[in-house]
Structure 1
Amino acid sequence: MWEVLVSNLLPKIYVFMYLKDIIRGMIRMKEKFEGRDSMVYDLADIQRMLKIGRTASYDFIAKVYKEGNPFPVLRVGSMYRIPKEKFDMWLSGK
């Protein structure tokens, strides 16, 4: 009984692990491609770089958008976009 269960389950586990690795690779490629060509950051990028939560990043960028300092923030509909060059200068202290 145990051998039958294991023999039926193992191939499915290997397929799942293989598919999981493929999906992870595709996500990495997508992130690499998007980051290379884009001239702006989105809120998820800011969140990762500043190591803050989603709500904190949204509140921070909304405040910067209203004040216009220390870097410009663009608003496209309900989405915020931050020019990479200006944000990177602010982050590095220049």
Structure 2
Amino acid sequence: MKMKMNVSIQIHYISYDNKISRGGSFPLRGHKTESVAYDFWKWIKKEHPFEVILEKVINNGDQDITEMVKEVEKQEWRNIENNRNFSF
């Protein structure tokens, strides 16, 4: 029997001058923790009509993975930029 691996993610962010914290338990499904946290962050950003600013990402209650999540976000933007087709 295969055991499901879950990760507990807590994201602290600012939206419209309010500090907010959201969290949950998510299945890893073979992905890295920072990728799962980034997917959660993207979901949060889609919910807000205004800009949201990432403050902190905590894994399993005590591990700060904020910089790792920001690096995943930067890499995604680099991939988007590199794959743009500018044919006019």
TM class, shorter-chain normalised? under 0.3
Structure richer in strand, relative to its length: 2
Give the TM-score taking structure 2 as reference length. Answer: 0.28
Structure richer in helix, relative to its length: 1
Give the TM-score taking structure 1 as reference length. Answer: 0.27
Larger-gyration structure (1/2): 1
Higher relative contact order (CA 8 A, sep 6+): 2
